[in-house]
Amino acid sequence: MSNNKKNIFWDRMQNLDRRYIYIVVALAIIIPLLIPFNSKTYITEPVENLYKKVDSFTEREDRAILMCFMHDASTMPELFPMEVSILRHCFERKIKVFTICFFPTAAPLIDYAINTAKEVGGFDVRSGIDYCNFGYKPYALFLPILLGMGEDIAEAVETDSEGRKVENLEIMKNLKNYNELNLVIDFSASASVQTWITYARVKFGANIGAGITAVMAAENYPFLQTGQLVGMLGGLKGAAEYEKLVDVFAAYESEDHLNGRPFSKEIVKETWIPITDKNIPYQFKTARIGMNAQSVAHIMIIVFIILGNIG
């Protein structure tokens, strides 16, 4: 190709109508969502550690986890798959789980997440016995409730989302404070997890985990390095990893392990779960399907950057 023809080609590229670029990017995102393809999901240490901590509470009457929904619908694409995966993990392994929120817009998201995990998975779990939704509490009560649960959960949160007295619920048997409610997972697009670290972790020794948007991940890595966070799910990638771990371990059934199997790095490396598997409901693999679209979109952007710089 002559230099003249090369110049004409790059001139056309530089003057390309931007609407064509938008169409290409849109197709790069839409097609992988409509036609999922199998791709590898590699497990990172922060996700692995959080999974193992949750799993250590399996069938224990004296342990429970608290999931705090500190976000609204705008961050659902990243955070909602995490919440469904952890709820599914708890329901699969008979782990007591509590939920709470301090934004009114998060209250319906809790119900949606619980119903999705419960109904899609076909779990026979009951409110007040296997799980408890504290529901929406005004943000002004965030710190009083956080500190109060370090002394007595039933006094800090007197009623659940259905108006029942928390102290009378069967799920509260053997549970008093953070000694038993020993893991708090904060799902947020802000720095609220640092409040849990500052008070629940430092004052009462509670274990804290984080489910955060991708842009917040870098800010929270120092807390992983110091051990103030036991684990973290960062963005859609973290959610996809947790989905895989639940499929490989918590939802595993065989003659020897009817209710899941213990975590093993060797099994993680050897086991490949295709997201095109019809036996896995769509709601339990949304993050992995989303990662396909995200990966293709990132590649397209990189290609555009290279072409733009060459031009």
- Express each pLDDT in 253-277 by its tens digit: 887 777 789 999 999 988 888 888 8
Domain ranges of the chain: 3-38+290-310, 45-288
Integer Cα distance of 255 and 171 in angstroms: 30
Reference 244, options 43, 53, 95; nearest CA is: 43
pTM of the predicted structure, to 2 decimals: 0.91
Question: Which class for 214: exposed (0-12), middle (13-18), buried (19 or more C-beta within 10 A)?
Answer: middle
- Express each pLDDT in 35-69 by its tens digit: 888 888 899 999 999 999 999 999 999 999 999 99
Helix (H, G, I), strand (E, B) or coil at 48: helix
- Express each pLDDT in 228-260 by its tens digit: 999 999 999 999 999 999 999 999 988 777 778
Reference 182, options 50, 63, 97; nearest CA is: 63
The whole-number pLDDT of residue 119 equals 95
Question: Which class for 300: exposed (0-12), middle (13-18), buried (19 or more C-beta within 10 A)?
Answer: middle
- Express each pLDDT in 184-209 by its tens digit: 999 998 889 999 999 999 999 999 99
How far CA 26 is from CA of 29, 30, 147, 235, in Å, comes to 5, 6, 47, 21
Q: What architecture is the 45-288 domain classified under in CATH? A: 3-Layer(aba) Sandwich (3.40)
Percentage of the chain with pLDDT > 90? 73
Q: What is the mean pLDDT of residues 295-311?
A: 83
